[in-house]
């Protein structure tokens, strides 16, 4: 979002050099050669969300909003180290970067800054995906240029846009996560991931502030969701596979919560577009999206449930981004788990859980919660649409 970051102890020169050497790993990874996402043999699929890295020029770019004792030597390399720590600790199946990956005004060369920012994911060989925020295009590449560069990096599943259609923005695409190999779902997508470009700033003179998800993007989402629902459902399986949506700028509906009906903290206002383009209603109507994940407002890290969809912030990740001194940088983790069938094999998704980890000495895990469970989702569409805004699910982690 805007400019403003917390900290672990600053990196030593040796550690900084080790982090720095892992950057600039660019390659040619086309859509045709992408790795297929699939649940593991343990019936789990884990996603690490990294929001608002605000990467600049590496070691030369200082941290913001850290304690005075952390300021000396603190730089973008602290952000890089945090990504490495999270990947090593959680061993995710997919890393998702939800925009403001670089802070364009402080990135001398956008392509190099992008390569440094994504270097931990690239060097880990873990599949990763990225979308744009409102700051990524403020350096030497346009929004289209940034996305076109991202898709050339190794191990990325990012796409510039779906082919064959006209659509607003850059970085609108979906990924399918198939069931366990050898199960009846190995060739079916049991978890659908939607990525959208929420834009940067309004180009309509009479509308000030941030951009929004446009009608063309919503039509694409509706078409894609409908196609995936048809491919998944059958005579014995009426409900669609659950979906998760990732984009940068929060929807106006994120303002529906207070401390009584969300998990996490809200320490600043909701910086959504000043107009409501109706995308939340579009997702409710589609019926498959169970949770939305955004960044943008670095001091918010809550999840709140509205009309059957959990609306979640990740919390600020990057050290060259505004933050709050003494309030640790953080990342969000999502874990989808499959159910066991009567034949002792893996079936469809049973539950989706989440927690956050802090960039402290112990990578402390906080705010574990169930976002969605197959056992509690058997509510009719009419009940979901009529339930009171802001009502909070009471299910807890088992």
For residue 309, give the 3-state DSSP assignment: strand
- Please tell me the predicted confidence (pLDDT) of residue 34: 67
In a domain, 135, yes or no: yes
Please, how many CA atoms are within 13 Å of residue 87, restricted to the half-sphere of its CB? 22
Structural domain count, the chain: 1
CA dihedral 84, 356, 180, 98 (to 10 degrees): -70
Strands 37-38 and 128-131, by their bridges, are unpaired
Residue-level pLDDT at 7: 36
As beta bridge partners, residue 130 has 97
Query: Is the separation of the CB atoms in 98 and 50 below 8 Å?
Result: yes
DSSP string for residues in 37-88: EE--TTSEEEEEEE----B-SGGGSBP-S--HHHHTT-BHHHHHHHHHHHHH
The predicted-structure confidence for 126-138, as pLDDT tens digits, reads as follows 999 999 999 999 9
What pLDDT is stored for residue 190 in this prediction? 97
What's the length of the chain?
398
Q: 3-class DSSP state for residue 282?
A: helix
Predicted pLDDT of residue 377: 56
Rounded Cα distance between 201 and 209, Å, is 6
Please report whether residue 380 resides in a domain: no
| 393 found inside a domain | no
Residue 323 burial by Cβ neighbours in a 10 Å radius (0-12, 13-18, 19+): buried
- Which pLDDT score, from 0 to 100, does residue 235 have? 65
Determine the Cα–Cα distance for residues 95 and 88; give it in Å rounded to an integer: 12
Which of the residues in the chain have pLDDT under 50? 1-30, 378-398
Q: State the pLDDT at residue 5.
A: 33
Q: Which domain holds residue 201?
A: 44-375
Residue 322 lies in a domain: yes
At 254-304, the pLDDT tens digits run 999 988 899 999 999 999 999 999 999 999 999 999 999 999 999 999 999
* 170 in any annotated domain: yes
Return the pLDDT at 8: 35
Residue 5 lies in a domain: no
- In the 3-class helix/strand/coil scheme, how is 205-263 assigned residue by residue? CCCCCECCCCHHHHHHHHHHHHHHHHHHCECCECCCCCEEEECCCCCHHHHHCCCCCCE
The domain that holds 280 is classified in CATH as 3.60.21.10
For residue 18, the model assigns a pLDDT of 37
Q: Is the dihedral of CA 135, 200, 121, 315 positive or negative?
A: positive
Q: Is 17 among the domain residues?
A: no
């Amino acid at each position: 979002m805007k400019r403003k970051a917390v900290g672990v102890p600053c990196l030593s020169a040796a550690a900084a050099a080790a982090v720095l050497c892992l950057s600039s790993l660019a390659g040619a990874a086309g859509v045709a050669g992408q790795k297929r996402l699939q649940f593991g043999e343990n019936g789990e699929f884990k996603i690490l969300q990294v929001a608002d890295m605000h990467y600049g020029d590496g070691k030369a770019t200082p941290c913001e909003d850290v304690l005075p004792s952390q300021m000396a030597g603190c730089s973008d390399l602290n952000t890089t180290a945090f990504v490495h720590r999270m990947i090593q600790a959680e061993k995710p199946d997919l890393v998702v970067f939800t925009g403001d990956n670089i802070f364009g005004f402080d990135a001398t060369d956008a392509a190099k800054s992008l390569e440094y920012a994504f270097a931990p994911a690239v060097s880990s060989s873990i599949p990763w995906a990225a979308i744009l925020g409102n700051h990524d295009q403020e350096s030497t590449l346009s929004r289209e240029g940034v996305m076109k560069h991202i898709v050339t990096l190794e191990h990325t599943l990012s796409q510039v846009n779906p082919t064959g259609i006209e659509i607003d923005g850059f970085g609108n695409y979906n990924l399918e996560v198939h069931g366990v190999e050898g199960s009846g779902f190995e060739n079916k997508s049991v978890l659908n991931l939607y990525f959208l470009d929420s834009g940067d700033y309004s180009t309509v003179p009479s509308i000030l502030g941030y951009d929004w998800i446009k009608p063309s993007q919503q039509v694409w989402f509706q078409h894609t969701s409908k196609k995936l629902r048809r491919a998944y459902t059958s005579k014995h399986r009426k409900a669609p596979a659950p979906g998760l949506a990732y984009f940068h700028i929060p929807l106006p509906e994120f303002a529906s919560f207070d401390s009584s009906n969300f998990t996490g903290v809200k320490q600043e206002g909701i910086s959504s577009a000043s107009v409501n383009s109706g995308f939340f209603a579009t997702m409710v109507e589609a019926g498959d999206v169970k949770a939305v994940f955004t960044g943008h407002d670095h001091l918010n890290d809550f999840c709140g449930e509205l009309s059957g969809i959990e609306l979640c912030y990740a919390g600020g990740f990057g050290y060259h981004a505004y933050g709050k001194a003494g309030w640790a940088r953080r990342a969000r983790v999502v874990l989808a788990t499959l159910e066991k069938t009567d034949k002792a094999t893996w079936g469809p998704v049973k539950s989706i859980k989440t927690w956050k980890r802090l960039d402290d000495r112990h990578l402390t895990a906080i705010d574990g919660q169930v976002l969605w469970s197959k056992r509690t989702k058997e509510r009719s569409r009419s009940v979901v649409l009529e339930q009171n805004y802001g009502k909070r699910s009471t299910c807890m982690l088992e």
